[in-house]
A = this chain, B = another copy of it.
């Protein structure tokens, strides 16, 4: 069990965190638009685990990214962005499919993304990936790679490997039926993952898609019943509630100014992971995650130029 007042013991490994999964283009309208009128788009670095890798690098820990992109201009752009951030790209596979993309219309209502899955789910399990996994303190993935084969098998192999080596496993149950392969709802599969990982961070929307409409407390119970060891349920501007199965802690949002919510969840993961690696006690690591998220909310875009974790710690008086 994870004690809130203790730090989570992490093995001494070469890499602080390995993110496995989607590295893709966010093709985003330059204007807010609720009627499909905006014709101009900007290509942006995207994919939640890849955003986390970029973020934690800024916060001061050492990430690795395993992903698949196409042998095309968009794939080269993504690899180049990682290189510019001084992140190793030896685990980026170049595959025979177009670099995955999400087209996003910025909207004052809920933006409705259009998914173009291509290269990302062609991610193969390689000896390099296995080697990186067992040499990392933390391994993280989201619902994207498990939503389709063959990348689902890759994640299953990674999980088999890391469980033998006492590596902390974080999973973002960001379930969405639109990314799932046809003919399978995906809900049962996602639920089957919950007990096999160490940490899950659902949003309230994720939880509703998995369990139907219920109270936040009931959502926590659902995840715990499925075997979750630590559940971080984020509630937007209401903050978050976190349970280790014995205790539940309520966190108020630390946000003082909300300019753009894009990437706020990734920012939380980033601050939280960076704090765990730096040895902070779990409860303080959670606070630091929420602080990084609050910092991000003041700026536009999924990726913002984060300072070192210690700077944010001081800024938020933690």
Residues on A facing B (Cβ under 8 Å): 27, 30, 36, 39-44, 70, 72-74, 76-77, 80, 96, 98-99, 101, 103, 105, 112, 114-116, 118, 182
A70 touches B114 (CB 8 A): yes
Cα–Cα, bound, A112→B70 (Å): 13
Nearest residue (CB) in B for A115 is B98
Nearest residue (CB) in B for A101 is B116
Which residues of chain B have C-beta atoms less than 8 A from A96's C-beta? 182
Nearest residue (CB) in B for A104 is B73
A114 touches B72 (CB 8 A): yes
B36 touches A76 (CB 8 A): yes
Cα–Cα, bound, A77→B73 (Å): 26
Cα–Cα, bound, A39→B40 (Å): 10
Number of identical protomers: 2
CB distance from A271 to the nearest CB of B (A): 27
Which of these, B41, B118, B182, contacts A43 with CB under 8 Å?
B41
CB distance from A127 to the nearest CB of B (A): 25
Most buried by B among A40, A44, A112: A40
Nearest residue (CB) in B for A25 is B103
Which residues of chain B have C-beta atoms less than 8 A from A42's C-beta? 39-41
Cα–Cα, bound, A112→B44 (Å): 20
With A41-B43, A42-B40 already in contact, the answer to whether A74 and B99 are too (CB < 8 A) is no
B40 touches A73 (CB 8 A): no
Closest 9 CB pairs of A and B: A36-B73, A116-B116, A41-B41, A72-B114, A36-B77, A98-B114, A39-B43, A36-B76, A39-B42
Question: Can you list 25 A-B pairs with a CB-CB distance of less than 8 A?
Answer: A27-B27, A27-B41, A30-B40, A36-B73, A36-B74, A36-B76, A39-B43, A39-B44, A40-B40, A40-B41, A40-B42, A40-B43, A41-B41, A41-B42, A72-B114, A73-B103, A73-B114, A74-B103, A74-B114, A96-B182, A98-B103, A98-B114, A101-B103, A116-B116, A116-B118
Which residues of chain B have C-beta atoms less than 8 A from A72's C-beta? 112, 114
CB distance from A118 to the nearest CB of B (A): 7
Cα–Cα, bound, A44→B40 (Å): 10
Which residues of chain B have C-beta atoms less than 8 A from A99's C-beta? 114
CB distance from A38 to the nearest CB of B (A): 8
Nearest residue (CB) in B for A74 is B114
Which residues of chain B have C-beta atoms less than 8 A from A101's C-beta? 101, 103, 116
Cα–Cα, bound, A41→B43 (Å): 8
Nearest residue (CB) in B for A107 is B73
Most buried by B among A36, A101, A105: A36
B115 touches A80 (CB 8 A): no
